[in-house]
Chain A
Amino acid sequence: MKKAMRPAKREQLLGTLYSFPMGIWFTVFFTVPLAIIILYSFMKRGLYGGVEKAFTLEAYRQMINPSFAKVLVRTLWISMLSTILCVLIAIPVGYAMAKSRHQTLLLFLIIIPFWTNSLIRIYAWISILSTEGFLNSLLIRLGIVKEGLHLIYNNGSVILVLVYMYLPFAILPLFTTIDKFDFFLLDAARDLGATKLESIVKVMFPNIKSGLSTAFIFTFIPIFGAYTVPLLVGGKDSTMIGNIIVDQVSKTRNWPLASAFSMILTLVSLIGVFWMLASAQKEATGKKQNTLQAYEQKVKAHHGRSRR
């Protein structure tokens, strides 16, 4: 009689089986398209769009261009600023939600915008911010300004709408980590002589680090690739990488160049993902006993002077 398979082994096999549909889905709709983009970025530009089957670094050479560099720099600072604003707003919001008795309701309110098409939400902002829009007519009626202010079609409006669009991506991970945070630690810090601010910076922040990095990555990556927001509420000096890619595909018909720019987006996302994996890994192994010695050594080196 044959021995039955060990349960652990069976489970492993089943796990592999279960992951097949997901694996196929990711291969067909993610890995293959990404591979195509990588390939295209190294090919020759087709005359009427598309590519010719010939290896060249032409696309990457074209990227080295002051006007593209300007857009890249702008994309970087707009994304950075919007992300930082998102996280800064999300920290107190997450804190308030974790402390609130109406968590479910607040979560619901945060998720509601996801059910509305993003274009509609951007157009709502246009009707609020435009020269004859809601905000300006309110200001005029209140007598604060004489004529409409230019609130839209500049970098400011792009940042405002980006922060609005991606704020939930920062709030949700921060809320979940703050919710798990032991608020008695703040009492303890106060008790031991920390001011309110010190207790938050020195005790709360280190303990919600994973939430902070997740919030940062979750907002930075989509904002870095933003396309509709700068297109609809930005001025002529608000173009971001996303807009260049679309232009290269649909107007200039330079597919290799569009692919090369996409590679930048992919690279940024990959760095973010690896950062997140690395910090998750660190958190997991940090708790294990076997890293204790290495850790002790590190701290001992740190306290070396006083240990003598």
Chain B
Amino acid sequence: MSVTIKQGEFFSLLGPSGCGKTTLLRIIAGFDYPDHGRVLFDNKDILPIPPDKRQSNTIFQTYALFPHLTVYENIAFPLRLRKLGKDEIDERVKHYVHMVQLDDHLYKKPSMLSGGQKQRVAIARALINEPSVLLLDEPLSALDAKLRQNLLVELDDIHDKVGITFIYVTHDQSEALGVSDRIAVMDKGKILQIGTPYEIYEAPATRFVAQFIGETNIFSCTVLSCEPFENEYMIVVDVPALGTTINVTDLEPQEVGSEFDFTVRPEKIRITLNPPRSTAAGLNVFKGVVEEPVYSGFQSKYYVKLDDIPTAPLMKAFKQHTVFLEDGPDIEWKDSVYLSWTAVDGYLVKDVDR
């Protein structure tokens, strides 16, 4: 596999734990050495260069702040190694301390700081050398959800300010989708797809990517027919799990008889009490009973058992609550509902993982 990361890009390596994303980061930083392959920086192989001579700095998952040094000394550490003048060090430390809003904590030891503050120290310390590339190894995973959101926005802000390349390792898809210019989805040491957050979410390349990013309904299927439809192709697939056929469009013509996975995102499925009135071409309609409604404020998640097919897996359909719910959600437990989505909303993916 090969990845090219552009200068100034916010690039994320996203994958489940153990997929090799941290190893890849450690190889780029110089802590680990690959069995084979090359790491090029400005077209120069940097593998023979030790970590202290590389133009990258790392933010570690566990912060790795020096416990015997104060915040000030931690951030000044790289500058003192370079034997810079006292005044220059002071000026630069103050600049970065101000950037991460730690002005009031300069002379505390790391053990006196909160998790978020520690993370800020790590950010300032990694940036003060003005590296060309900042490597971030799950930097927010040890923080609670609210703080994580705030720091993520701050990181994005810092990226805009310093304008250097960020390589961000995470297993949290919402983090990656939120801030990345591009994402590489990894599994078992392989990169499955590289693309913008939008491409990764809307047009997953494989079954794994579709399932790992966000939530989805996914079924194995076989192509029954394929005909041109506007700029695309209207494909009818047989889905054994649902005991019926589904209409789906694709940019490419697909051979009859070839096997795919069919996937449709739950938020693309309309869930209604009455039969849908839409007349869109290739509309898929299923009837079912709400088995489990999960209300979460801005939306409700419905797990629906399809009628007539007792063996079918529950279909997930999400409904956004865009109006004031005076009497609670209109669809409730054990309601009979219609699920519908147009052929354009569905997607065929290749199951290369199997």
Contacts and interface: CB of A to CB of B under 8 A. Distances in A.
Interface in A191-240: 191-195, 198, 202-203, 206-207, 209
B195 interface: no
B87 A306 contact: yes
Interface residues of A, number: 29
A292 B78 contact: no
B29 A191 contact: yes
B52 A193 contact: yes
Interface residues of B, number: 34
Nearest to B64: A188
Interface string B199-240: 000000000000000000000000000000000000000000
B86 A187 contact: no
B52 A191 contact: yes
A75 B28 CA distance: 53
Given A299-B70, A306-B86, A187 B51 contact: yes
A299 B78 contact: no
B82 A193 contact: yes
Contacts, number: 81
A207 B68 CA distance: 6
Given A187-B31, A299-B70, A193 B64 contact: no
The interface centre, meaning the residue of B68, B108, B109 with most chain A CB atoms within 10 A of its CB, is B68
B81 to A, nearest CB: 5
B31 A192 contact: no
B129 interface: yes
B77 A192 contact: yes
Given A190-B50, A192-B78, A194-B52, A185 B66 contact: yes
B62 interface: yes
Contacts of A192: 52, 57, 77-78, 81, 125-126, 129
A151 to B, nearest CB: 42
B90 interface: yes
Interface string A158-182: 0000000000000000000000001
Contacts of B30: 190-191
7 contacts: A190-B30, A190-B31, A192-B57, A192-B78, A195-B52, A203-B66, A292-B112
Given A182-B64, A303-B90, 7 more contacts: A188-B64, A193-B129, A194-B52, A295-B107, A296-B107, A299-B70, A305-B86
Interface of B: 29-31, 50-52, 56-58, 60, 62, 64-68, 70, 72, 77-78, 81-82, 86-87, 89-90, 107-109, 111-112, 125-126, 129
The 8 closest A-B pairs by CB, nearest first: A188-B64, A306-B90, A192-B78, A206-B68, A190-B51, A296-B107, A184-B64, A299-B107
